[in-house]
A and B are shown apart, each in its own frame.
Chain A
Amino acid sequence: MLILSFFCLFVFGPFYDHITMQLIVFIGILGWNALRFSLRETVSLLKFCLPFVFTLFIFGLIFHFTRLFGRQDWLQDTFIKCMVFPSSLIFLKVLLSYITYLDILSLPISMKKRIDLITLKSAFSKGERILRRFSWYLNTYSVLKSGSNIKYTLKKYACLIIALYLYLYEEIDHSNRLLRNRYQHFQETNK
């Protein structure tokens, strides 16, 4: 219910266009995360979001300067997206931290949806940890470092996003298949 309300109000709903409101929500969620975990963890989470926000920002700038589709509000929309994206991600992460795997299992929803939620929760915790390691490896690739600093940062972030996508795609697919197979096996054994 809380998740639905958040997304209906701030992501797809009436407050999406309000920059001040989005800024307050963003700061509020960061504060919530700092209280729930720690300030250090919050900073690390912001670093996790940085490649995605940076990419969003660069695309927003390109769209703004090329006046894509004749729109004049690309810059404002980009700023909003740069806040909405980390807000929604951190909001989901903090909320999911209150919910244990056992809580998910006792939810009055279908087993398929429970398995999807379990996979989502697991992907969140894995993704954050793995991104640091990916970033470390990418820093060792000298081939990325040819060219200017901005080119290097862009290429590194592009690699980070692709690597994370590949990892999560395979991990989610694997975990989801494993859970479904185990559940199916469990049901067949019970019969």
Chain B
Amino acid sequence: MEIKRGTYRLEARGLVFDLVDDLNLNNGPNCFYFRGGNGFGKTSFLEKIIIPALKTDTVQYVYIGQDIRTQLYTLKALLSVQGIKVSGSDEVELLRLWINHSRSARVFILDEFDKYFADYGFIFDWSAAFIRTYIIVSHLAYHQSEAVAQKYPVCNVRFDLIDFDGHIRNVRITKE
């Protein structure tokens, strides 16, 4: 699956992206690191550009949003509806159960997961057998997980604010 270079407008969210390079998300085992400051539209790019493109191409994916506390309620409900016992499970156990039941997924998206778990190597231990591409959104200040650096070719994707007219942020996205 490829996101072509070009301009992507999310004016309702006050963002215009200039994607400088094509993003090929289906090119063998890979790990994309999306990095940039607060308010540069990393999550919007994921939720409005990447995820719809994955849906269009019917690529199955696992997405852990940055409001993970909210998402956990839906995970508890989802697993319960599938007949899996979740009472008494802590958040890590819930994630493990969910990932274990998502083995048809090929892309794993983590949005600022390092805010909650500084060392999130366990995610790779649970999913490496079936995931081909990881997309990890992180703040500029955070360091890459050691587990990622050792196992996967890493592609850094940088979000830079070009200008802001008070309403719209123009953000350039480049591969490093």
Q: How many A-B residue pairs have CB under 8 A?
A: 53
A147 to B77, CA, bound (A): 18
- Which residues of B in the span 54-91 have a Cβ within 8 Å of any Cβ on A? 60-61, 63, 65, 67, 70-71, 73-74, 76-78, 80-82
Interface string of A131-157 (1 = CB under 8 A from B): 001101110111110000000000100
Q: Judge if B51 is at the interface, Cβ distance under 8 Å.
A: yes
Contact B70 A155 (CB under 8 A): no
A160 to B104, CA, bound (A): 23
Q: Judge if B101 is at the interface, Cβ distance under 8 Å.
A: yes
A13 to B141, CA, bound (A): 62
Q: Judge if A167 is at the interface, Cβ distance under 8 Å.
A: yes
Contact A141 B78 (CB under 8 A): yes
Interface string of B88-119 (1 = CB under 8 A from A): 00000000000001101100000000000000
Given contacts A142-B61, A143-B101, A143-B102, contact A133 B70 (CB under 8 A): yes
A134 to B71, CA, bound (A): 7
Given contacts A133-B70, A166-B73, A167-B73, contact A138 B78 (CB under 8 A): yes
How many chain-A residues does the 8 Å CB contact rule pick out? 21
Other-chain residue from B51, B63, B77, B101 in contact with A159 (beta carbon distance below 8 A):
B77
Residues of B within 8 A of A142 (CB): 60-61, 102, 104-105
Most chain B CB atoms below 10 A, which of A141, A144, A158 = A141
Residues of B within 8 A of A141 (CB): 74, 78
A117 to B111, CA, bound (A): 37
Most chain A CB atoms below 10 A, which of B47, B76, B77, B105 = B77
A155 to B77, CA, bound (A): 10
Contact B74 A138 (CB under 8 A): yes
A140 to B63, CA, bound (A): 7
Contact B73 A134 (CB under 8 A): yes
Contact A163 B77 (CB under 8 A): yes
Contact B61 A140 (CB under 8 A): yes
Other-chain residue from A137, A143, A144, A158 in contact with B71 (beta carbon distance below 8 A):
A137
Residues of A within 8 A of B65 (CB): 137
A143, chain B: closest CB distance, angstroms: 6
Contact B80 A162 (CB under 8 A): yes
Residues of B within 8 A of A155 (CB): 81
Contact A134 B74 (CB under 8 A): yes
Q: 13 A-B pairs, CB-CB below 8 angstroms? A: A133-B67, A138-B74, A138-B78, A140-B61, A143-B82, A158-B77, A159-B74, A159-B81, A160-B77, A163-B74, A163-B77, A166-B76, A167-B70
The 3 closest A-B pairs by CB, nearest first: A162-B77, A163-B77, A159-B77
Give residues in A with beta carbon < 8 Å to B: 130, 133-134, 136-138, 140-144, 155, 158-164, 166-167
